Amino acid sequence: EDVDARVVVGDENIDTYDWRPVWFDSFLAYCAEENLPVDFVSTHPYPTDWALDAHGQGQKLTRGKDATPVDLALLRDLVAKSPY
């Protein structure tokens, strides 16, 4: 909670934590700006994550059962909105 108030600690369902491929749209924007071709982009969203809190303590986070399809739809949307 100290790191991200959206994370619900102790709850089995933390769908409130939205995964975002922070480099994905930046990469596509950079390539477009520099007129670079993009053959493909690969990323691997997972419905679980191993996060560290403000004190360096690890905690496994599990998102809802629809996390992967939602993540894949987000990636598809980012590509559709890009110049590629």
- What b/e readout covers 43-76, taking b as 16+ CB neighbours within 10 angstroms? eebebeeeeeeeeeeeeeeebeeebeeebeebee
Predicted confidence band at 80 (pLDDT cuts at 50, 70, 90)? Answer: very high
User: What confidence tens digit (pLDDT) does each residue in 5-63 have?
Assistant: 765 555 444 444 567 787 888 899 999 999 999 998 888 777 776 667 777 777 777 77
Q: What is the C-alpha separation between 29 and 21, in angstroms, rounded?
A: 13
